[in-house]
Amino acid sequence: MYREVRENQRRHTNSHRQPFAGFVLSLFLLLLLASCGSAQAATTTTGTQHIVKRNVPATTKTIALGTQPCPTTAASTDYWNAVVGIQREQNNIAKVSCGHLEGNDTLQALVEVDYNGASGGVKDIYVYDQVTGPAPTKILELKALYQGDARISGYNTVITREVDWNSSINKGQSSDSVQPDLYREFKWAPGANGMLPVAFRGFYPDLTRYQAETDQQQVSRGREQWKLDPRQVAQHMASNLLNWSGASQARILKQQGIDATVSLKNAGQDGGTITVTLSRLEGRSDGIWLVTQVDSDALLITQPTPLDHLARNFTLTGKGPNGVSGQVKVFDHLYSEIGSASTTSAGNSSTTFHATISYTPTFDKGSEDGILALFVRKGNAIQEAVMFKALLG
């Protein structure tokens, strides 16, 4: 076909007596190219040769979130007895659930182990990869969680619950009186070939993903509907964490999709103004609003940064009004203060400052979610504030 086209083109190149034939030839060439391409094809011409390059849209595979059906073999609790090393007189497999915890299309198994006759629901938690292979690989192990629980989150992480025996609500209490108060999150870390603790971005009204997902279920049933309004969430946060007046003036600066920014002015004496950043839980259009950061025009923490893992002794650097002293505070998983320090100016005319902070967590078996805060007061009132989440321990 291509040779016939070239021959026709040669015959009629110098012909001025057959315009209709020239028109037919042009139309034929266009139809020929159309048959080789598509409506979305991009055509590049070099001389008399036509090269058609197809635009093939890139495809991104969607990974399902949350708990997924386990493969038939791995769904059986009996299958895991030998893998975990169950001794029937001591413990048993309580539950098995699966999910895409490594962020790809493979499945991992979350295995919960109960201790026979143990009061308080003591659990061991395991996560395995290669769940149907001859030797599943353990990528997470947590032992002896009192009143323990674990689940796969809507963000494909493992979230857990347990009792912190030394926390402000449990220390000195009997085993029958303690309450589960410590919630943690573990995420797949390819470089470590395992799951490591991570900090949840939000810190109010919930400090952890486990608490926020539980909260979401209650709100979806019609309870505490104020958590669906970013202004009210910001006001509640300032009232409970900053001791501001409940009548603080809230103005939305920006609200787009799952993100919002609220300006909040303290209506009380010596009141200041802060900017509150919020986000909906797990990007859900119906998700509760969570405060992720508090900022002030006059204050800035330059180091550490949000979600950093803080050593028990660390140095904070920042910028603020010249000659104004600030207070650095570390809050634990119950919003209890566990460390504080005053900022020191870097020079007489400088607006930079630093502070060395030590804190002592009540939980000593790993890391936990916490808050790093910097306050400037006027009288007894907090006038400026910067707050964000960190991983403590």
- CA proximity to 380, closest of 243, 262, 183: 243
* Furthest C-alpha separation in the chain: 108
* pLDDT per residue as tens digits for the range 322-342: 777 899 999 999 999 999 999
φ, ψ of residue 263 in degrees (nearest 5): -90, 130
Q: Which residue has the higher pLDDT, 20 or 232?
A: 232
Asked if residue 205 has a cis previous peptide bond (ω within 30° of 0), the answer is yes
Looking at residue 45, what is its pLDDT?
33
What confidence score (pLDDT) does residue 322 get? 76
pLDDT range class, residue 350, cuts 50, 70, 90? low
- The strand pairing partners of 161, in sequence order, are 149, 183
More confident residue, 42 or 157: 157
CB 155 within 8 A of CB 64: no
Whole-structure pTM value: 0.82
User: Which residues, in sequence order, are CB contacts of 221 under 8 Å at separation 6+?
Assistant: none
Name every residue whose Cβ is closer than 8 Å to that of residue 271 and which is 6 or more positions away in sequence: 244, 245, 248, 265, 381, 383
pLDDT at 2: 37
Mean pLDDT of 35-55: 36
pLDDT score recorded for residue 40: 38
d(CA 237, CA 291): 8
State whether residue 160 is helix, strand or coil: strand
User: Whole-angstrom Cα distance, residue 349 to residue 333?
Assistant: 38
- The confidence score (pLDDT) of residue 345 equals 74
101 pLDDT higher than 90: yes
pLDDT in tens, 135-189: 999 999 999 999 999 999 999 999 999 999 999 999 999 999 999 999 999 999 9
- In the structure, what pLDDT confidence band is assigned to residue 349 with cuts at 50, 70 and 90? low
Encode pLDDT of 197-253 as tens digits.
999 999 999 999 999 999 999 999 999 999 999 999 999 999 999 999 878 899 999
**pLDDT exceeds 70 at position 5:** no
CB atoms within 10 A of CB 369: 29
pLDDT, tens digit, 9 for 90 and up, residues 365-387: 999 999 999 999 888 889 999 99
Residue with tokens 């073999």: 73
* 117-121, 218-222, 351-355: least confidently modelled range: 117-121
Higher pLDDT, 19 or 242: 242
Three-class SS of residue 214? Answer: helix
Which residues 6+ apart lie within 8 Å of 313 measured at CB?
Answer: 356, 357, 358
Where do the structural domains in the chain lie, given as residue ranges?
Answer: 2-53, 72-197, 209-392
Q: Across all residues in the chain, what is the average pLDDT?
A: 86
Give residue 351's pLDDT band: very low, low, confident or very high (50, 70, 90): confident
Instruction: Give the 3-state secondary structure of residue 9.
Output: helix
Q: Mind listing the pLDDT tens digit for each residue in 268-327?
A: 767 789 999 999 999 999 999 999 999 999 899 999 999 999 999 999 999 988 777 899
Task: Give 269-283 as a DSSP string.
Answer: TT--EEEEEEEEGGG
Class of domain 209-392: mainly beta
Strand-pairing partners, residue 273, are 265
Q: How far apart are CA 81 and CA 92, in angstroms?
A: 8
pLDDT at 89 over 90: no
